Amino acid sequence: MSHPERIAALTQAVEDLLREARQQGADAAEAAVSAQTGLSVTVRLGETETIEHTSDNGLGITVYFGHRKGSANTTDLRPAAIRESVAAACRIARHTSEDPAAGLADPDLLASDVPDLDLYHPWTLDADQAADIARDCEDAARAADPRIGNSEGATLYTQGSSFVYGNSNGFVGGYPSSRHSLSCAVIAQQGEEMQRDYWYDSSRLPAELAEPAAIGRRAAERTLARLGARRLGTRECPVLFRADVAPSLLRSLFGAIRGHAVYRKSTFLLDRVGTQVFPDWVQISEDPLRPRGQASAPFDNEGVTTRQRDLVSDGVLQGYLLDSYAARKLGLCSTGNAGGVRNARIADSGQSFEALLREMGRGLVVTELMGQGTNPVTGDYSRGAAGFWVEDGEIRYPVEEITVAGNLKDMYRQLLAVGTDNDVPGSIDSGSWLIENMTVAGD
Amino acid sequence: MSHSIAIARETLLDAPGLSEGQLAQVMDRLLSRQVDAADIYFQYGRLESWVLEDGIVKEGSHSIEQGAGLRAISGEKTGFAYTDSLELSRLLDAAGAARAIAQVGQHGARAVATHAAAPALYAPINPLDSLSEEQKLDLMRRADAEARAADPRVQEVIVSLVAAHDTILVMDHSGQISGDVRPLVRMSVQVIVEHDGRREQGSSGGGARQALDFFLADDRAMAYAREAVRQALVNLDAVAAPAGMLPVVLGPGWPGVLLHEAVGHGLEGDFNRKGTSAFSGRIGEQVASPLCTVVDDGTLPGRRGSLSVDDEGTPSGNNVLIEKGILKGYMQDKLNAHLMGVAPTGNGRRESYAHLPMPRMTNTYMLPGAHDPGEIIASVEHGIYAVNFGGGQVDITSGKFVFSANEAYLIEKGKVTHPVKGATLIGNGPEVMTQISMVGDDLALDTGVGTCGKEGQSVPVGVGQPTLKIDQLTVGGTAA
């Protein structure tokens, strides 16, 4: 059965679940059911290494007894497991405390229709065809240079999903979606030194995936560029977070303005809505309804309408990311962000990557970040890094085994430019970020 | 047949109505091509979690994870399929999909069911019902009260309590059946403190393959609460950490995440078979200072990282990885052991039936040395003493690894002085291990909170070490 055909069956399952919850005594309930099927094929050193057939079902139910809440989920969708799950959720709800903020989303915020965002574009290919594509990708990487002496392989992954959410306020909605990706990781050797890097692409549409050979060549280029890496002496200097690592700085922002972090006062951006967090040229937005978008969704995880919104305008923080619970805790309204930010974008400031190098003059380009190293309460930031040292606006040599440190509040204020080089796949659209000054620790 | 296998058979074969003959039929299907090895892995998992926040138990959740994963191996090739239904027809379909990796032909032998038993390292209990709901909630409320009573600067307290019950059964291509019943509990306390407009966090917790009354014993839950508050208050006073190469003294226990990152991952068999690790081809070489003996020991009774048998049915081992600085061996699953011509070491682990097994750590720790911990600190003129860490990460190919301190102090003239802010430490695994110049006599294992991620799969692990001194390590602070 294709995923669009499954929507009706999943809708029936959601309605059955809600009825079962009511029969077991719940005052209100919400449920989500999903089915996912896929194929993952890895080719390493030209040979097929693994073929994985994936097939994941999931069902989640949350029940409310007044303002007391209980949840359950299961990968087993047989009737006995469903009954056990609903009973477990109800048992839990009888023991949790009355919490006035707990409950379903306000009915007037629920999506009144479910727009078709064109997210489902299945790829019918068998394991041999998938292996051929992965092989083309890895072959291109291995052929790029004799120093590419080893490989972790190339993986083609394709999946289709169907998802339905419903609640006892009468909302039920669902949609099918697809996701395809091709990735390649290779190892370059030079004397005793070994370096690894990778590249990938992902898309809702098979036809929009980059050419396999182009992905392989880029994986090879990135890996070769690391050879000859040195350390740096400890110093302060400007730092350019290349477009492949810059989205992590936006993720830290989103973590800090998440409603749950705000009402817990566990964020370095507490009470900062309406204030200048970035320089006045910075614009950050989300667009959950973008057709074929990697993180698009016609409604959030509680059935609330999603909409295009500005998160930061002219450098000023516009609001928090709220689900119903956090909104009630803060005396605000849900922003349709149950489940997070969808298709975020930071507008560029007009410079190419090369122009940013020239603007920086002398400093560090970061192309890899390691470890967690971010304190969400204080904004203190200290992470392992690798990249390139830049002098006179040009890359001089690769660097590794260093750290970059500062505080996210300062880093955001000291954002000098965002590049036009936003060619990195994923759900966050960002070019490279040039930050005025950070501490680099090395030898 | 051990008690665990009997329970596993009852749960995973008898209850869904699978006979041994039907199991053999599924295995025959997997073996109906030129397959070198195959296995069928059954899992029945239940997990329950509770969260207390704002002084009330707000949420609880129950999870069911259940199904079977079928794998066929031919040379270096692996075919894998899984199903969340244990019906014979679905198992046969999955077997057909998994075996497609191999050429048409026939595996030489037919599976004959036999049973393997390993000594159980934990009781085959269900921890979800090891305390009543009232007792679980009371435990969490008392931890909340303990944290709030510890200091008036405590603003927020979040307590979580998790109990997991996994029953697994695995049949390999020879027909050997192994089973295990794996309880796992975990509790954590996280606090936010505030003073003069400055806020900080602290967290503590623990866990084991035991019943939930583990947290009632030895005042554990209350100790987690007090420890979380203590840590947060220390950080309220922290100054900027230094930046640059410094001597670093690591405290005992959880700082053993050093070993997990600096050497552990790099010694997993898959990376070494493929030659992608900084430790590849280095068995018998000096890869650490002669003071270092590092083991991966899955046989410690009741520990979070322990397994009576791994997910391929191999009994856990106490494997010496590095002995007096010399690299002794890698951690192996069956596939990589076979391809490298060595014995499996009991490190074949998987997150669930829906994931392929691979070599993973269990409890990785360094054996104690001869030094008094006080003497180690006294030996440092100017450096860092780090006692608590968040996570870490490693690039196994270049050997570069990081781990992030979240409680650390300056050492000045041989004395621990001011607390410093969290900072990431970065080094090169094989190099850093040779920089270890003193090893304490105070080996401690962590409290049972570790989770290791690899290729998208999470498994519970343990770490440990005595106090030790690294002569030079890069500290990623902001102070010159």
pLDDT, one tens digit per residue, over B312-358 is 999 999 999 999 999 999 999 999 999 999 999 999 999 999 999 99
A282-321 residues touching B, CB cutoff 8 A: none
- Residue A131: closest C-alpha in chain B: B101
| Shortest Cα–Cα distance, A404 to chain B (Å) | 7
Give the separation between CA B426 and CA A371, rounded to whole angstroms.
10
Q: Cβ(A51)–Cβ(B79) under 8 Å?
A: yes
Give the separation between CA A440 and CA A412, rounded to whole angstroms.
17
B400 vs A contacts (CB less than 8 Å)? 370, 384, 386, 400-401
| Shortest Cα–Cα distance, B443 to chain A (Å) | 26
Q: Is the pLDDT of residue A385 over 60?
A: yes
Cα B221 versus chain centre, distance: 21
Q: Is the pLDDT of residue A113 over 60?
A: yes
A51 vs B contacts (CB less than 8 Å)? 77-80, 100-101
Cα A100 versus chain centre, distance: 31
Give the separation between CA B344 and CA B361, rounded to whole angstroms.
13
Q: Is the pLDDT of residue B275 over 60?
A: yes
A-B contacts at Cβ under 8 angstroms: 249
Mean pLDDT across chain B, nearest whole number?
95
A362-381 residues touching B, CB cutoff 8 A: 370-373, 375-378, 380
Half-sphere exposure of B463 (CA within 13 A, CB side): 25
pLDDT class for B109, splitting at 50, 70, 90?
Answer: low
Q: Which of A377, A407, A414, A437 to mutate to test the interface with B (most CBs of B within 10 A)?
A: A377
Q: Is the pLDDT of residue B56 over 60?
A: yes
Given the structure tokens 């006892």, which residue do they identify? A168
Q: Which pLDDT does position B155 carry in this prediction?
A: 96
Backbone angles phi, psi at B315, to 5 degrees: -60, 145
| Shortest Cα–Cα distance, A275 to chain B (Å) | 18
**Chain-chain contact of B101 with A150 (C-beta, under 8 angstroms):** no
Mapped onto helix, strand or coil, the DSSP state of residue A94 is: coil
Give the separation between CA B117 and CA B432, rounded to whole angstroms.
40
Write the CA distances from A85 to A5, A24, A63, B478, integer angstroms.
Answer: 25, 11, 11, 50
**Chain-chain contact of B60 with A375 (C-beta, under 8 angstroms):** no
pLDDT in tens, A34-89: 999 999 999 999 999 999 999 999 999 999 999 999 999 999 888 888 999 999 99
Q: Which pLDDT does position B1 carry in this prediction?
A: 43
Q: Which of A72, A81, A98 is facing B61, going by the closest CB pair?
A: A72
Q: Which of A63, A69, A75 to mutate to test the interface with B (most CBs of B within 10 A)?
A: A75
Burial of B196 (0-12, 13-18, 19+ CB in 10 A): exposed
**Chain-chain contact of B101 with A54 (C-beta, under 8 angstroms):** no
pLDDT in tens, B19-48: 988 999 999 999 988 899 999 999 999 999
Q: Which of B56, B137, B422 is facing A99, going by the closest CB pair?
A: B56
Q: Is the pLDDT of residue A331 over 90?
A: yes
Q: Cβ(B267)–Cβ(B321) under 8 Å?
A: yes
Q: Which of B58, B65, B276 is facing A196, going by the closest CB pair?
A: B276
Cα A291–Cα A297–Cα A299 angle in degrees, nearest 5: 130
Which residues pair with residue A54 across a beta bridge?
A38
DSSP A106: P
Mapped onto helix, strand or coil, the DSSP state of residue A3 is: helix
Mean pLDDT across chain A, nearest whole number?
97
In this complex, is the C-beta atom of A88 within 8 Å of any C-beta atom belonging to chain B? yes
**Chain-chain contact of A99 with B424 (C-beta, under 8 angstroms):** no
**Chain-chain contact of B64 with A73 (C-beta, under 8 angstroms):** yes
DSSP result, A356-381: HHHHH-SEEEEEEEES--B-TTT-EE
Give the separation between CA B30 and CA B26, rounded to whole angstroms.
6
pLDDT class for B114, splitting at 50, 70, 90?
Answer: confident
In this complex, is the C-beta atom of B80 within 8 Å of any C-beta atom belonging to chain A? yes
**Chain-chain contact of B243 with A403 (C-beta, under 8 angstroms):** yes
Given the structure tokens 């098979």, which residue do they identify? A206
Q: Which pLDDT does position B20 carry in this prediction?
A: 86
pLDDT in tens, A181-195: 999 999 999 999 999
Give the separation between CA B261 and CA B212, rounded to whole angstroms.
30
In this prediction, residues A388-393 reach a mean pLDDT of: 98
**Chain-chain contact of A72 with B79 (C-beta, under 8 angstroms):** no
In this complex, is the C-beta atom of A90 within 8 Å of any C-beta atom belonging to chain B? no
Which residues pair with residue A441 across a beta bridge?
A403
Q: Which pLDDT does position B115 carry in this prediction?
A: 80
Strand order across the beta sheet in which A344-346 lies: A316-317, A309-313, A284-286, A344-346, A428-429
Cα A377–Cα A380–Cα A386 angle in degrees, nearest 5: 135
CA dihedral (B283, B289, B291, B296) positive or negative = negative
pLDDT in tens, A59-71: 999 999 999 999 9
**Chain-chain contact of A71 with B60 (C-beta, under 8 angstroms):** yes
Mapped onto helix, strand or coil, the DSSP state of residue A282 is: coil
Cα A232 versus chain centre, distance: 31
For the record, the structure tokens of B416 come out as 């621990």
Burial of A275 (0-12, 13-18, 19+ CB in 10 A): exposed
Q: Is the pLDDT of residue B188 over 80?
A: yes
**Chain-chain contact of A150 with B276 (C-beta, under 8 angstroms):** yes
The residues, any chain, with a CB within 8 Å of residue A251's CB and separated by 6 or more, are A428
In this complex, is the C-beta atom of B191 within 8 Å of any C-beta atom belonging to chain A? no
Given the structure tokens 């074949």, which residue do they identify? B348
Q: What is the ipTM of this complex?
A: 0.95
- Residue A43: closest C-alpha in chain B: B77
A317-336 residues touching B, CB cutoff 8 A: none
In this complex, is the C-beta atom of B270 within 8 Å of any C-beta atom belonging to chain A? no
In this complex, is the C-beta atom of A55 within 8 Å of any C-beta atom belonging to chain B? yes
Query: How many other β-carbons are positioned within 10 Å of the β-carbon of residue B271?
Result: 22
**Chain-chain contact of A95 with B80 (C-beta, under 8 angstroms):** no
Give the separation between CA B100 and CA A405, rounded to whole angstroms.
50
**Chain-chain contact of B133 with A95 (C-beta, under 8 angstroms):** yes
**Chain-chain contact of A95 with B56 (C-beta, under 8 angstroms):** no
**Chain-chain contact of A386 with B158 (C-beta, under 8 angstroms):** no
In this complex, is the C-beta atom of A211 within 8 Å of any C-beta atom belonging to chain B? no
Buried b / exposed e over A212-238, threshold 16 CB at 10 Å, is bbebbbbbbebbbbbbebebbebbebb
Length of chain A: 443
**Chain-chain contact of A371 with B398 (C-beta, under 8 angstroms):** no
pLDDT in tens, A229-277: 999 999 999 999 999 999 999 999 999 999 999 999 999 999 999 999 9
pLDDT in tens, B213-258: 999 999 999 999 999 999 999 999 999 999 999 999 999 999 999 9
Strands A235-241 and A363-370, sheet pairing: parallel
Q: Which pLDDT does position B2 carry in this prediction?
A: 64
For the record, the structure tokens of B11 come out as 């749960």
Q: Which pLDDT does position B81 carry in this prediction?
A: 97
Q: CA Rg, chain B, in Å?
A: 24
**Chain-chain contact of A196 with B398 (C-beta, under 8 angstroms):** yes
Given the structure tokens 């922003």, which residue do they identify? A335
Q: Is the pLDDT of residue B110 over 80?
A: no
Q: Which pLDDT does position B117 carry in this prediction?
A: 76
Nearest Cα residue to B98 out of B84, B77, B112, B75 = B77
A412-431 residues touching B, CB cutoff 8 A: none
Cα A403–Cα A312–Cα A263 angle in degrees, nearest 5: 80
B199 vs A contacts (CB less than 8 Å)? 265-266, 270, 377-378
Indicate left, alpha or beta for A126 from its phi (over 0: left) and psi (-120 to 50: alpha): beta
**Chain-chain contact of A371 with B65 (C-beta, under 8 angstroms):** no
Q: Is the pLDDT of residue B146 over 80?
A: yes
- Residue A439: closest C-alpha in chain B: B478
Q: Which pLDDT does position B103 carry in this prediction?
A: 80
A383 vs B contacts (CB less than 8 Å)? 402, 424, 476
Q: Which pLDDT does position A103 carry in this prediction?
A: 97
Q: Which pLDDT does position A1 carry in this prediction?
A: 80
Length of chain B: 480
Nearest Cα residue to A152 out of A41, A44, A224, A40 = A44
What percent of chain B has pLDDT above 70?
Answer: 99
DSSP B246: E
Q: Which of A93, A229, A405 is facing B477, going by the closest CB pair?
A: A405
Given the structure tokens 């003129």, which residue do they identify? B381
**Chain-chain contact of A194 with B199 (C-beta, under 8 angstroms):** no
Q: Is the pLDDT of residue A345 over 80?
A: yes
**Chain-chain contact of B354 with A56 (C-beta, under 8 angstroms):** yes
Q: Is the pLDDT of residue B100 over 90?
A: no
In this prediction, residues A103-128 reach a mean pLDDT of: 95
